[in-house]
C-alpha cells in the first residue's frame, strides 16, 4: 500500500492511489524500494506546472508516460555522462540564506534582502544560527551523553542545561553548551542564549581533541561554585553529524541555490562519477605568486606535463595570494605590475589551446589580493586586473572567498585563509601540547565540528553578518579545500575529505589533484630541476 505522506503535502484520491499501486505492481517494485519509487514520482509530479495539491490522475499519468519514454529511449545516449552539465560555481553572495527556526525546529528561507552593511538584528541572527545549527545536531545525536567527554569523575550522568539553571545551585555539576568569549572584564566565559558564566580552568590539565578559540562553541562539564564560576573538569567540541545524516533530514532544503536533490538521486549520480569519470581531476594550487618568475616556470611545466600525457584537468583552481607581498594603497607602480602579471598568465594559458578551451579556471583571492572588501566573504578579484584573462580564457571564473563547486552530487568548499596561524593565536583556556601532525588533525576536526570555516568572534575575524551562512559547513560538504601557507596535508574526517595544497613555490612546485570518483586528493610535485612526482 502506498503511503500518502510520501507525496509531500499532497492528498491522494482513491483513483490516484489505485493507479500508483498498479504502477508498482506492474514493475514488480520490491517493498524496500517502494519509498524511493514514490519519492521519484512525487518529485516529477511537483515539476509539472499544472500539478494541483490534490493529486491529479491526468498529471500522474503524464509523469508516468515521461518515465516510460525515458526508459525506452536511446540507451547509448542515456549512457553519456556530460560533466559540463553537472558543474556549477557558487558565489558566496548568491547562496540563499536559511535561518534556523526554533519554533518549527526547521530551516526557513529568509525573505529579507541581504546587504553588505548588515544590521544589529542580522548580527544577532548570524550568531544565533551558528549556535542553533550545532545544538540541534547535539540534541539529535544518538551517542551523545556526558560520559563521552573526558572527565575525572563520571559518576553522575548529566543532561544539557542552560546558564539560567545555574542560579542558586552552587555545588552541583552541570553540562553546558555555548560559545567561548571574554567578558568586558577580560574573564573567559561561556555564553548561551540565556546568559553567561565565568569559567575556571585551574582543574583541567588537558582539553579533549581540537582547538578551542574565542568564538567557538563547546560542551563544558563543570562544578558551579558559590562565587558564580564554573570549575571546568571537561571540555569538548560538539559531535560532528555526517553529510548523509543531515541530507536525510534536510534533503528538501536547497542550501546552495542549485536545486534540491534526493538521496536516491545523489546515489545514482555518485555511481556515474565513480564508474564513468574515474580519470577526471581537479587541480588546486595556492599562493600562486605571479610577481615571481619561478611561478610561471612552474605553471608552464604543469601545462607541458598535461599536454605530453594527454591528461587535461577538468578544473584548475588557483588560490591567492597572487603576489608575494602586500601592495601599498596608492602605489601605482605595484598596481600596474599586479595587472601585468595577470596579463602574462592569460598569455601563457592561451598558448596551450587544448587546456584553455577545455579546462575551467577558478581564481580565488587571498588575504593580500586586491578586492572590493577585506572582510569575509571576500569579493572576487577586481575586473580591471583580469580583463585579458576574461578575453583569452573562455572558461574562467573569478570566485569569492570562500566559494563552492557543485559537481554532480558533490559539494566542494574552497577557502583561502592562513587559518592555522590565526586559530593558534586565539586559543583560550588550556592549550593543547601536541605535535605538528596532530595540529593539522585538530584544525580539521574543529572546523567540521563547529560547522563553520571561521569559528572566531567577529572582533577577531570580521564577517559580513548577512552572509555568514556562506561560511557555514552544514550539511557537511563532500570536500573542503583549506588553502593555507601552512604545511600541505590531506585527511578525511566523518566522511568529509579536507586538504591543503600548500604553497605552489617552495623547494619544488607543489599542488594537489582532487579525484571526484574517489573523493580524495593526491599530492603532486613538479621538481624545479629533478624528477616529477605526479
Residue 447 has pLDDT above 60, yes or no: yes
pLDDT at 470 (0 to 100): 98
Which of 466, 455, 398 shows the shortest CA–CA distance to 93?
466
Q: Are 414 and 405 a contacting pair, CB within 8 Å?
A: yes
For residues 162 and 331, which has the higher predicted lDDT (pLDDT)? Answer: 162
Residue 360 has pLDDT above 80, yes or no: yes
pLDDT at 379 (0 to 100): 98
pLDDT at 71 (0 to 100): 53
What is Dmax (Cα atoms) for the chain?
Answer: 77
Name residues whose C-beta falls within 8 Å of residue 419's C-beta, 6 or more positions apart in sequence. Answer: 443, 447, 453, 454, 482, 484, 486
Q: What is the model's pTM?
A: 0.84
Among 73-77, 325-329, 416-420, 448-452, which is the least confidently predicted range? Answer: 73-77
pLDDT at 9 (0 to 100): 46
CA distance 270 to 276: 10
Q: Say which DSSP state 370 is in.
A: -
CA distance 409 to 280: 15
Dig out the grid coordinates for 162 from the structure.
Answer: 542552560
Q: How confident is the model at residue 76 (pLDDT cuts 50, 70, 90)?
A: very low
pLDDT at 5 (0 to 100): 40
Which of 366, 427, 369 shows the shortest CA–CA distance to 402?
366
Name residues whose C-beta falls within 8 Å of residue 357's C-beta, 6 or more positions apart in sequence. Answer: 394, 395
Q: Are 473 and 444 a contacting pair, CB within 8 Å?
A: no
Please state the rounded mean pLDDT for residues 69-81.
55
Q: How confident is the model at residue 336 (pLDDT cuts 50, 70, 90)?
A: very high
Question: What are residue 74's phi and psi, to 5 degrees?
Answer: -70, 110
Dig out the grid coordinates for 83 from the structure.
Answer: 560533466
Residue 314 has pLDDT above 90, yes or no: yes
pLDDT at 79 (0 to 100): 62
Among 48-57, 281-290, 325-334, which is the least confidently predicted range? Answer: 48-57
Q: How confident is the model at residue 431 (pLDDT cuts 50, 70, 90)?
A: confident
Q: What digits encode the pLDDT tens for the residues 107-134?
A: 999 999 999 999 999 999 999 999 999 9
Dig out the grid coordinates for 158 from the structure.
Answer: 548529566
Residue 157 has pLDDT above 60, yes or no: no
Buried residues in 321-332 as b, exposed as e (16+ CB within 10 A): bbbeeebeeeee
The SS3 call for residue 141 is coil
State the average pLDDT for the chain.
89
Dig out the grid coordinates for 487 from the structure.
Answer: 604545511
Q: What digits encode the pLDDT tens for the residues 362-375?
A: 999 999 999 999 99
Pairing of strands 496-500, 217-224: unpaired
Q: Are 465 and 123 a contacting pair, CB within 8 Å?
A: yes
- What is the distance between the terminal CA atoms of the chain, rounded to a whole angstrom? 55
Q: What digits encode the pLDDT tens for the residues 1-41?
A: 444 444 444 677 788 888 888 888 887 777 766 777 777 78
pLDDT at 531 (0 to 100): 56
For residues 45 and 494, which has the higher predicted lDDT (pLDDT)? Answer: 494
Residue 303 has pLDDT above 60, yes or no: yes
User: No. of H helices and E strands in the chain?
Assistant: 13, 20
Q: How confident is the model at residue 433 (pLDDT cuts 50, 70, 90)?
A: confident
Please state the rounded mean pLDDT for residues 384-397.
97
Amino acid at each position: 500500500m502506498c503511503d500518502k505522506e510520501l507525496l509531500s503535502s499532497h492528498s491522494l484520491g482513491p483513483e490516484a492511489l489505485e493507479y500508483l499501486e498498479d504502477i508498482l505492481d506492474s514493475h514488480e517494485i520490491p517493498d524496500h524500494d517502494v519509498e524511493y519509487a514514490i519519492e521519484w514520482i512525487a518529485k516529477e509530479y511537483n515539476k509539472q506546472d499544472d500539478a494541483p495539491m490534490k493529486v491529479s490522475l491526468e498529471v500522474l499519468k503524464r509523469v508516468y508516460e515521461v518515465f516510460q519514454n525515458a526508459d525506452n529511449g536511446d540507451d547509448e545516449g542515456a549512457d553519456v555522462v556530460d560533466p559540463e552539465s553537472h558543474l556549477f560555481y557558487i558565489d558566496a553572495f548568491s547562496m540563499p540564506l536559511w535561518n534556523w527556526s526554533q519554533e518549527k525546529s526547521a530551516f526557513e528561507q529568509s525573505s529579507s534582502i541581504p546587504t553588505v552593511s548588515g544590521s544589529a538584528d542580522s548580527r544577532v541572527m548570524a550568531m544565533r544560527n551558528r549556535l542553533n545549527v550545532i545544538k540541534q545536531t547535539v540534541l539529535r545525536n544518538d551517542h551523545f551523553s556526558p560520559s563521552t567527554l573526558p572527565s575525572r569523575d563520571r559518576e553522575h550522568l548529566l543532561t544539557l542545561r542552560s546558564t539560567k539553571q545555574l542560579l542558586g545551585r552552587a555545588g552541583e555539576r552541570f553540562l553546558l553548551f555555548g560559545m567561548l568569549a571574554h567578558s568586558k572584564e577580560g574573564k573567559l566565559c561561556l555564553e548561551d542564549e540565556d546568559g553567561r558564566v565565568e569559567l575556571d580552568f585551574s582543574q583541567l590539565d588537558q582539553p579533549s581533541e581540537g582547538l578551542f578559540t574565542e568564538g567557538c562553541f563547546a560542551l563544558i562539564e563543570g562544578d558551579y561554585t558559590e562565587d558564580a564560576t564554573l570549575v571546568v573538569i571537561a571540555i569538548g567540541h560538539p559531535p560532528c553529524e555526517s553529510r548523509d545524516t543531515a541530507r536525510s533530514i534536510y534533503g528538501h532544503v536547497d542550501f546552495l541555490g542549485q536545486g534540491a536533490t534526493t538521496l536516491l538521486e545523489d546515489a545514482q549520480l555518485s555511481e556515474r562519477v565513480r564508474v564513468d569519470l574515474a580519470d577526471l581531476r581537479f587541480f588546486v594550487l595556492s599562493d600562486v605568486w605571479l610577481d615571481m618568475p619561478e611561478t610561471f616556470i612552474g605553471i608552464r611545466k604543469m601545462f607541458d606535463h598535461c599536454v605530453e600525457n594527454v591528461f587535461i584537468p577538468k578544473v584548475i583552481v588557483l588560490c591567492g595570494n597572487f603576489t608575494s607581498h602586500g601592495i601599498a594603497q596608492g602605489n601605482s607602480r605595484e598596481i600596474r605590475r599586479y595587472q601585468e602579471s595577470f596579463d602574462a598568465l592569460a598569455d601563457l594559458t592561451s598558448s596551450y589551446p587544448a587546456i584553455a578551451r577545455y579546462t575551467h579556471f577558478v581564481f580565488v583571492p587571498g588575504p593580500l589580493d586586491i578586492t572590493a572588501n577585506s572582510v569575509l566573504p571576500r569579493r572576487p578579484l577586481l575586473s580591471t586586473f583580469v580583463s585579458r584573462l576574461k578575453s583569452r580564457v573562455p572558461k574562467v571564473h573569478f570566485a569569492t572567498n570562500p566559494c563552492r563547486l557543485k559537481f554532480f552530487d558533490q559539494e566542494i568548499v574552497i577557502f583561502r585563509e592562513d587559518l592555522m596561524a590565526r586559530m593558534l593565536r586565539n586559543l583560550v583556556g588550556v592549550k593543547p601540547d601536541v605535535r605538528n601532525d596532530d595540529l593539522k588533525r585538530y584544525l580539521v576536526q574543529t572546523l567540521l565540528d563547529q560547522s563553520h570555516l571561521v569559528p572566531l568572534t567577529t572582533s577577531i575575524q570580521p564577517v559580513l553578518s548577512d552572509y555568514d551562512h556562506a561560511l557555514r559547513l552544514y550539511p557537511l560538504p563532500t570536500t573542503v579545500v583549506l588553502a593555507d601557507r601552512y604545511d600541505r596535508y590531506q585527511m578525511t574526517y566523518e566522511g568529509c575529505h579536507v586538504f591543503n595544497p600548500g604553497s605552489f613555490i617552495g623547494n619544488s612546485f607543489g599542488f594537489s589533484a582532487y579525484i571526484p570518483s574517489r573523493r580524495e586528493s593526491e599530492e603532486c610535485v613538479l621538481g624545479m630541476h629533478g624528477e616529477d612526482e605526479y
